[in-house]
Chain A
Amino acid sequence: MCLAIPAEVVELREDETALVEIGGVRKVVSLMLLDGVEAGDYVLVHAGFAIERVDREEAQRTLAVLEEAAEYGPLYE
């Protein structure tokens, strides 16, 4: 139930809402719980609300850490 999905903000709308796109599907979500959202941001959407921005640099950093371990190769060939 605590599922939250990353969605790209397409445009800001009136009344503290934004149009977002999730895997090709567009829907309007509330921005009542998150300040400073801009078009082009990725936000986590839960129960119709944006609850946080996805931080691009941190996402990249986590991937880099994971890729570093992958370079040593698999346990089972």
Chain B
Amino acid sequence: MKKKVLIVASMILMALTVSGCMKKENPVATDSSQNQTTKSAEAEVTGAGDNLDETKTLVIAHGAYPQTLDIQNQSDAFSSRPASMVFEKLMKMDKDGNFQGVLAESWEYEDDTHLVFHLREGVKFHNGDPMTAEDVKWSLIRAVNSAHVSSKASFINQDDITIIDDNTIKVGYLYPNASAYAAFSNAGLSILPSKLYANADTADISKNPIGTGPYKYVDCVNGEKVTFVRNEDYWGEKAHIKNLIWKTITENANRTIELETGGAHFSYDVPTTDIDRIESDDKLTLLMGPNFTIQYVCYNTQKAPLNDVKVRKALGMAVDKEAIKIAAYNGLGKVGVGPMVSTTQYATEDLDVAPFDLDAAKALLAEAGYPDGFEIKIYTNENQARIDAAQVVQNSWAKIGVKATVTTLEYAAYYEAVNSGEYDVCFFGWISNGDPDNTLYGLYHSSMIGASNYSHTNNPKVDELLEAGRKELDDKKREQIYVELQKELVDYCPATYYWQGVNTYAYSNDLMPIEYTPYDFEPWTYEWKK
């Protein structure tokens, strides 16, 4: 009898474990007013109605769950994208690369190192507190001191921020910075409520993100999704679609499947292998366009034989960029030319980049003293496109006598090997925000050796031009500096730039047509087809 009872109890326990109780969802708000709004928002997520914008939830699929919703302590797009539903910046770049005011209505320079912002009036945080210059000052200082975004905010002099009145603030710089507008457009310099978060840490803010944005945070299911609802008190044009979910689907192919089955309505990062399938599906639309990514073969400029510029140029001439584009990227994107992609400000393709020519490469190698070639090590990480590119390069170089062994390392081990300088050649990519300083400084300034200067470039002329370009406020002079810098980098040849990236997104045709932009998409502008 006892045994039978135990058998039955075990089966019940197993069944309970399988069916489980309702999952525990993260607690949402900490103050009572937010609690009320949140409860009604939760009820409305499942509410009924005739208008699709009010009743049908928009589901956006992307590849990883946000590490945090504290927008000033994130380093990846998977965190900044959903967090940008809640938080806003002082300004933004529009689809043409021009700066438009968001929380700042206008601004002007008082002198080279002082910028005065006139803040938009009547803006409130989601908890009802008005946004003032005090919040802007607190947020900028917090960004300067954040390990994740301080590189974008490091030009700001946190001891020289002056509140003129509730809607006017003067921000002092440590040096003139031509990229300041690009920095103020970065998600990491978003404005947070200083009173609410005065004593909060990252975890607190992530659990209860309160901003001025077009969407309010509702709740999240850790690892699965984050839910938002429209901010009915938004200062600008309210979001069309009331309810929004950012859903995490890590497997690339599954994001496409979710689009096909209606489980998602917009997907980031569609795999290139699914492009034909999406284009042939009349329920879906593919969005594709150039982004700010450059992929390059990076040479260790401090290690023989690659410390000889002739060797680097010879190797560069033997990189078959067209073959890489086909093998690694299914023919998508554009072959790289110089260190800046064509969408970047001041990018030029009028550069003396030698075309693919194995005979010329072999001759240049012989001139450098290596008529029989040599052996080198290529390191790459687990990114499949980079592995494919490395194999194409290995084959090409074998034809000019350079025997390359390709070693694939896990990401963390890869960075350590590259930063320690033990590699000869490695494969990297760089995603910029379209600003030339953001595109080049981190990769080529000597102060960044051991961080993001993976080629260990230590060139005084390059340093000088980078520093000048950062501080030059005159547009024409700045352009001259960066054109000269691109030519200098091509001549010095720390890398061979083989591919300019494309973004591939897809959305359901239940939505009104969406225009491609290389900048952040704005889901609050989306609407369902009537």
A and B pair up: no
Q: Mark A residues whose CB is within 8 Å of B.
A: none
B residues whose Cβ falls under 8 Å from a Cβ of A = none
